[in-house]
Amino acid sequence: MGQVTPEVEQRVEQLRQKLQEASYAYYVLDAPIMEDTVYDRLYRELQELETQYPQLISLDSPTQRVGERPATQFTSVRHNIPLYSLENAFNIEEFTSWESRWRRQATEIDAFEYVCELKIDGNALALTYENGVLVRGATRGDGITGEDITQNVKTIRAIPLRLNMKAPPPVVEVRGEAFLPIEVFEQINQERQQAGEQLFANPRNAAAGTLRQLDSRIVARRKLDFFAYTLHLHQLPITNYQLPVTQWESLEFLQEIGFRVNPNRKVCSSLEEVRDYYNYWDTERRNLPYMTDGVVVKINSFALQERLGFTQRFPRWAVALKYPAEEAPTRVESITVQVGRTGALTPVAELDPVQLAGTTVSRATLHNSSRIQELDLHIRDTVIVRKAGEIIPEVVRVLAELRPQDAQRFQMPSNCPVCGEAVIRPAGEAVTRCINASCEAILKGSLVHWASRDALDINGMGDKLVQQLVDKKVVQSVADLYDLTVEQVISLERMGKKSAEKLVDAIASSKSQPWARVLYGLGIRHVGSVNAQTLTDQFRSVDQLAKASAATIEGVYGIGPEIAQSVYQWFTLPANQTLIQRLLAAGLQLATGDRQDINTAKAENLAFSGKTFVITGTLPTLKRDEAKELIQKAGGKVTNSVSAKTDFLVVGEDAGSKLEKAQALGIAQLDEAQLLEMLNN
């Protein structure tokens, strides 16, 4: 029996009062004041305190009403057709904005339909059938490559081993979601508890752990289920089957050939109908035998889907309309301050660890000092946390009535917690910043950004390596990277000769990255990858951009005054001017066409100037973004849709309707080899 302190006693009483208020609001007034997950967490905290201090148990207490192993042997496989992720909308207002965006690209369309499907909270699978027989089942992975788990997929009874088709096409691709029914999930956790094993956090994690079991017998016992939602058909025998022309017909066809399709789908012809469907399942989903975290809305017509195409990351014709994020209460134990690559100071709440959306959350962003004041947050407060977009934990609100007497207000530091220099808060901004260019935190962030995929794309240069380079004073600027030797890198922890050589080679290779990537890599405030491309299209060299006035920069279409001023001011700083000179001396591309890799087009020739390209299907060696970049370097333009203005169609495997349209319009087709040959001539 533990020693009761005044703080513990106060906490127990506060919890009882809060839980009793919540029970009254829910059962008597029928007006809930907190989510079930919040109630459960506070209830559990009270239970734990009463267990630890049984002398505090009272008759009126709410508690007294009623006395996976990681896989290492799966093969990585490239998907025949990429598995795109979906853009998220977190309410009807965001869905309305999404609808407005696609309708601007099809202004003449008056009547259209959506297909609404429940978004199953599981794990995406890509199934390949050859001549009607299942030959491969793979995880989504990064959308381009996944893991071959065919033996495990075969254990799922809802997935047919052979399609119910008399004369199947040579290849059929099916996408869907593998999941664990809630009842099965609970049974599995019960068995794991009895066996003294760690419990799964949620059905999605349990399904993922199951799919990656090396022993398929274990997978079979777990009774995974599956809903199919996407069909890719080519060379369908028209004499036997009618090719689906809508998402709804595709789902019906999937069911006809042997797949389980979610029955709770609906065709909606207006935003209002989508909203009604979304709101209905926001409540009814709790009565389903599986987990769903939102609604997937797709334009029904395949022809309209094809016309709208894709962004770099998402289809324009589909969106995931998510339900509000899961929330949970916990306590703020302390507040620390992080310094980012732009010098921004971000307060972070250090939390009593709490389970949220399937993960353990121990830290949450507080954004800035204004947000802390708005929340009236004190250290030791009980707060409600959630995952913004189910990714980034954040503090939503404070339960001030549970505030202990020893709670302390937090003050943003007046000096940088990393370098010790004075910080500033510019007028009109909410963010406090360190402006010391030599600050190690800023330097580390700058190096990570410089090496990132959309910037210089330096393979092997991650956070841990950057930390060592800065801590050991080996690198004090991004320009220092290009002076690194193999001997210097070998001196770092866990870095052998071979790894060191690969890193130095990767850094050297980054010199061939185009001017737009270099500009983005510089990390100028407000300049993302898209803005960097826009600026370098207008200012063909760093010298042109550095000499441009803020007004001239603002005159570029798509560049606003804030971006223009940020770019102008960056180039006026002597330290940045020195950096540019060092990068020029190192041989980086700071002008369009300064240097080109031998496998790329020579920009000065502009072999594709004025030519419009469309890429379709899967190319043998090039990723679509790589092919696009090569074409653009040679002066060409890449679009998503085939039209009379298209000059060339670059064709890979599994080319779809774009090829048919190009053939009908008499547009020239190129395979990868022909494209590269043209580039190198």
DSSP string, 627-661: HHHHHHHTT-EEESS--TT--EEEE-BT--HHHHH
Span 565-588, pLDDT tens digits: 989 999 998 888 999 999 999 999
- CB burial of 340-364 (b: ≥16 within 10 Å; e: otherwise) equals bbbbbbebbbebeebebbbeebeeb
Q: Can you tell me the distance from the alpha carbon of 114 to that of 265, in angstroms, rounded to the nearest whole number?
A: 10
pLDDT above 80 for 500: yes
Contacts by 576-579, CB closer than 8 A, 24 or more apart: 576/522, 577/546, 579/477, 579/478, 579/479, 579/522
pLDDT above 70 for 71: no
The torsion region of residue 554 among left (phi > 0), alpha (psi -120 to 50) and beta comes to alpha
CB 678 within 8 A of CB 605: no
| Structure token pair of residue 113 | 């339909």
Q: Can you tell me the distance from the alpha carbon of 77 to that of 147, in angstroms, rounded to the nearest whole number?
A: 6
Mean pLDDT in residue range 329-358: 88
State how beta strands 648-651 and 668-670 pair: parallel
Residue among 484, 477, 485, 481 nearest 577 (CA): 477
Angle between helices 92-104 and 271-284 (to 10 degrees): 150
Q: Can you tell me the distance from the alpha carbon of 367 to that of 346, in angstroms, rounded to the nearest whole number?
A: 6
Handedness of CA 576, 539, 433, 473 (dihedral sign): negative
pLDDT above 90 for 126: yes
What amino acid is encoded at 654 in this protein?
D
Chain centre distance of CA 543: 36
Mean pLDDT in residue range 141-147: 83
| Structure token pair of residue 634 | 């040679």
Q: Can you tell me the distance from the alpha carbon of 266 to that of 25, in angstroms, rounded to the nearest whole number?
A: 35
CA triple 160-161-165, angle to 5 deg: 70
State how beta strands 266-268 and 225-233 pair: unpaired
Band of pLDDT at residue 69, cut at 50, 70 and 90: very low
Q: Which residue did the predictor score with more confidence, 32 or 78?
A: 78
Q: Can you tell me the distance from the alpha carbon of 570 to that of 586, in angstroms, rounded to the nearest whole number?
A: 21
pLDDT above 50 for 604: no
Residue among 458, 452, 454 nearest 481 (CA): 458
Count of other CB atoms within 10 angstroms of residue 313: 10
Percentage of the residues of the chain whose pLDDT score is greater than 70: 90
pLDDT above 90 for 237: no
pLDDT above 70 for 2: no
Q: In this structure, what DSSP letter does residue 31 have?
A: -
How many Cα atoms within 13 Å fall on the side-chain side of residue 7? 8
Percentage of the residues of the chain whose pLDDT score is greater than 90: 40
Mean pLDDT, the chain, integer: 84
Q: Can you tell me the distance from the alpha carbon of 455 to that of 206, in angstroms, rounded to the nearest whole number?
A: 36
Choose the most confident range, by mean pLDDT, from 37-41, 496-500, 616-620: 496-500
Angle between helices 561-572 and 574-586 (to 10 degrees): 80
What's the confidence (pLDDT) of residue 400? 92
What's the confidence (pLDDT) of residue 234? 63
Span 386-424, pLDDT tens digits: 875 445 688 989 999 999 999 999 989 999 999 999 998
Residue with tokens 């505090």: 56
119 a catalytic residue: yes
Band of pLDDT at residue 201, cut at 50, 70 and 90: low
CB 181 within 8 A of CB 239: no
DSSP string, 117-183: EEEESSEEEEEEEETTEEEEEEE-TTSSEEEE-HHHHTT-TTS-SB-S-SS--SEEEEEEEEE--HH
Handedness of CA 197, 200, 206, 209 (dihedral sign): negative
CB 176 within 8 A of CB 228: yes
Q: Can you tell me the distance from the alpha carbon of 298 to that of 303, in angstroms, rounded to the nearest whole number?
A: 12
Band of pLDDT at residue 92, cut at 50, 70 and 90: very high
What amino acid is encoded at 99 in this protein?
E
Residue 459 CB burial class (10 angstroms; 0-12, 13-18, ≥19): middle
Residue among 155, 177, 139 nearest 221 (CA): 155
Band of pLDDT at residue 217, cut at 50, 70 and 90: confident
Angle between helices 203-211 and 182-194 (to 10 degrees): 70
Residue among 483, 481, 448 nearest 462 (CA): 448
Residue with tokens 């992080």: 338
pLDDT above 80 for 624: no
Mean pLDDT in residue range 342-349: 89
State how beta strands 648-651 and 612-616 pair: parallel
Count of other CB atoms within 10 angstroms of residue 409: 10
Q: Which of 119, 444, 628, 633 is catalytic?
A: 119
What amino acid is encoded at 473 in this protein?
K
Pick the range with the lowest mean pLDDT from 61-75, 102-116, 453-467.
61-75
